[in-house]
């Protein structure tokens, strides 16, 4: 601390959500954001780093930019990438000189080749470097898997309160505010933790309605009397690591009389309601037949192959199902398949062709499907998202092509997975979801707000995949057992 009371607070963020079943590992080159030092500060993105930095600045303290790294969900990091990122973080802390406190934005479900709990591992390394006295405040995604090591190494741990996530800035700000409180009042805060051996399908994790929303209201009601934050972590369920399970945390002074009880009570309430998290699933054919009986657009969620959950977006299962059972229904479906896109670009617009699509990256769940139709539209420009999430972001899905089968289904082929949680990619490719009978999205939940104004109904598909809602079909080997709903 300086004579004027200005604290030097390190600011760092390292976020990726790992899916243990993803068909490909995440490398350093997959980090769309990777900045150290002053360059970390200059990025204008409304993330948790932004929230923390704003609070530090507004309180008159000195924020010291260290690292800002973000990658889309995907497979676990390669050992090389994990080691490099750890070195970047530790080198930046060393280079910063004396710090009074550290804010660290993490996801909490980051895994790497050989390390299940990368976040806890990083926190232990940071703690070694800083020593026991410098407070560390951490923000996490609601899908974090809380470990004992994380809460032991960090003083303050707070998570997003929303899913779909809209409070990244609030969460970073909350963590920084508590860090400043600890630095300026001398009240030692700590994080209390309660866990239950339970997974919740992503489709049942909404904080807008349903059981998690009820738990969130209960958590808000007990955030008083010295308890500064209560966070609920239903955990992202495609993570095969130790200590996997549902968590509740509370931040309160170190000797708080009831914080641990509050966490235990909320975790027990969640456990008692575990059967309420069941999701109604539809076989592809049944979903298509159901859509046929409804007037208006029906959204079919192929959450089993969701890129925002770390899957590869190349399952052709719904192309196959719509060709078999969807004749006459105007349907839109997308498949990531660079080779098929190249074939369409080579053929040119207006050409009629036959090609195999899908299952090019992930071959474990599906086989390629024969697609015959006319190349309607070709393109390469990034799409500007205009839904409630990432609005204004220019999203690069690579080159793309629309193949119209003339039988009902039109297939949007892309080099990188299309962000179908938003309506923009369809329109970008000349397709209008409002005129469709069926739109297939690769998203468990993020799509709901964008499609609600135009959709008659939304059904979740019963399909296998790296992000399947059928958690009982995944071969967990590292997670502790028994674990609901894998074991009754």
Q: Note the residues at the interface with Zn ion (CB under 5 A).
A: 141, 143
Least CB distance from residue 78 to Zn ion, whole Å?
A: 22
Q: Which is nearer to Zn ion, 141 or 305 (CB)?
A: 141
143/256 with CB nearer Zn ion: 143
Least distance from C-beta 47 to Zn ion, angstroms? 13
Which lies closer to Zn ion via its Cβ, residue 138 or residue 375? 138
Mutual orientation of helices 79-95 and 118-130 as an angle, nearest 10°? 30
Q: Return the number of the residue (169 or 180) whose C-beta is nearest Zn ion.
A: 169
Using only C-alpha atoms, the chain has a radius of gyration, in whole angstroms, of: 23
Residue 165 CB, nearest distance to Zn ion (Å)? Answer: 6
Minimum distance from CB of 7 to Zn ion (Å)? 30
Q: How far is the CB of 140 from Zn ion (least distance, A)?
A: 9
Residues sharing a CB contact under 8 Å with residue 475, sequence separation 6 or more, in sequence order: none
Cβ closest to Zn ion, residue 164 vs residue 409: 164
CB nearer Zn ion, residue 41 or residue 143: 143
Nearest approach in angstroms of CB 474 to Zn ion is 18
Nearest-CB residue for Zn ion: 143
Shortest distance in whole angstroms from residue 107 CB to Zn ion:
7
Residue 431 Cβ, how far from Zn ion at the closest point, in Å? 28
Q: Please tell me the distance from the alpha carbon of residue 106 to that of residue 103, in angstroms, as a whole number.
A: 10
The span from the CA of 66 to the CA of 292, in Å, is 55
Inter-residue contact 53 to 11 (CB < 8 Å): yes
Minimum CB distance to Zn ion, residue 315 (Å)? 21
How far apart are CB 91 and Zn ion at their closest, in Å? 28
Long-range CB contacts for residues 135-138, cutoff 8 Å, separation at least 24:
135/101, 135/102, 135/179, 135/182, 135/183, 135/189, 136/101, 136/102, 136/104, 136/179, 137/101, 137/102, 137/103, 137/104, 137/175, 137/176, 137/178, 137/179, 137/182, 138/103, 138/104, 138/105, 138/106, 138/175
Distances (CA, A) of 216 to 175, 265, 387, 389: 18, 13, 25, 21
141 or 243: CB nearest Zn ion: 141
Shorter beta-carbon distance to Zn ion: residue 304 or 322: 304
First to last CA, the chain: 54
Residue 301's alpha-carbon distances to 240, 282, 306, 468, in angstroms, are 24, 10, 9, 11
Q: Are 159 and 233 in contact (CB under 8 A)?
A: yes
Asked if 173 and 51 touch (Cβ cutoff 8 Å), the reply is yes
Q: At what angle do helices 259-272 and 211-221 cross, to 10 degrees?
A: 160
Nearer to Zn ion by Cβ, of 143 and 177: the residue is 143
Choice between 239 and 412, CB closer to Zn ion: 239
Q: Rounded distance, CA 354 to CA 328, Å?
A: 20
Closer to Zn ion by Cβ: residue 141 or 240: 141
**CB neighbours (10 Å) of residue 296?**
12
- Total Cβ atoms within 10 A of residue 133: 6
CB of 436 to Zn ion, least distance (A): 28
Please tell me the distance from the alpha carbon of residue 484 to that of residue 85, in angstroms, as a whole number.
34
Q: Is the dihedral of CA 289, 294, 298, 302 positive or negative?
A: negative
């Amino acid at each position: 601390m300086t004579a004027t009371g200005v604290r030097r607070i390190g600011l760092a963020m390292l976020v990726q959500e790992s899916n243990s079943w993803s068909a490909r590992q995440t490398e350093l080159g997959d980090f769309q954001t990777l900045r150290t030092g002053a360059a970390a500060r200059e990025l204008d993105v409304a993330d948790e780093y932004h929230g923390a930095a704003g609070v530090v600045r507004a309180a008159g303290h000195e924020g010291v930019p260290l690292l800002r790294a973000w990658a889309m969900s995907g497979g676990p990091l390669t050992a090389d990438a994990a080691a490099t990122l750890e070195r970047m973080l530790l080198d930046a802390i060393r280079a910063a000189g004396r710090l009074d406190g550290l804010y660290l934005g993490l996801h909490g479900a980051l895994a790497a080749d050989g390390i299940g709990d990368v976040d806890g591992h990083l926190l232990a390394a940071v703690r070694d470097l800083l020593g026991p006295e410098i407070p560390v405040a951490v923000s996490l995604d609601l899908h974090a898997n809380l470990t004992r090591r994380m809460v032991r190494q960090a003083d303050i741990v707070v998570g997003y309160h929303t899913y779909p996530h809209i409070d990244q800035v609030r969460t970073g700000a909350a963590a920084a505010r508590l860090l400043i409180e600890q630095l300026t009042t001398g009240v030692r805060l700590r994080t209390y933790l309660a866990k239950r051996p339970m997974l919740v399908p992503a489709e049942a994790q909404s904080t807008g309605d349903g059981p998690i929303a009820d738990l969130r209201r209960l958590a808000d009601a007990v955030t008083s009397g010295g308890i500064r934050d209560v966070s609920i972590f239903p955990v992202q369920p495609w993570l095969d690591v130790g200590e996997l399970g549902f968590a509740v945390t509370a931040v309160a002074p170190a000797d708080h009389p009831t914080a641990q009880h509050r966490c235990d009570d909320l975790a027990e309430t969640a456990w008692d309601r575990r059967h309420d998290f069941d999701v109604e699933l539809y076989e592809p054919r049944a979903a298509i037949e159901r859509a046929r009986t409804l007037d208006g657009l029906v959204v079919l969620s192929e959450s089993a192959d969701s890129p925002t959950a770390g899957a590869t977006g190349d399952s052709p299962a719904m192309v196959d199902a719509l060709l078999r059972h969807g004749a006459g229904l105007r349907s839109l479906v997308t498949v990531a398949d660079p080779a098929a896109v190249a074939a369409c670009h080579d053929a040119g617009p207006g050409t009629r062709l036959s090609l195999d699509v899908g299952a090019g990256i992930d071959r474990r769940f599906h086989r390629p499907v024969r697609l015959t139709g006319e190349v309607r539209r070709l393109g390469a420009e990034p799409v500007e998202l205009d839904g409630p999430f990432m609005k204004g972001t220019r999203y690069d899905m690579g080159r793309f092509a629309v193949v119209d089968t003339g039988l009902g289904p039109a297939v949007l082929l892309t080099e990188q997975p299309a962000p179908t949680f938003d309506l923009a990619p369809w329109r970008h490719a000349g397709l209008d979801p409002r005129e469709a009978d069926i739109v297939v999205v690769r998203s468990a939940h993020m799509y709901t707000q964008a499609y609600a104004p135009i959709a008659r109904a939304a059904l979740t598909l019963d399909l296998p995949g790296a992000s399947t809602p059928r958690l009982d079909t995944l071969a967990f080997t590292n997670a502790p057992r028994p674990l609901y709903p894998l074991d009754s």
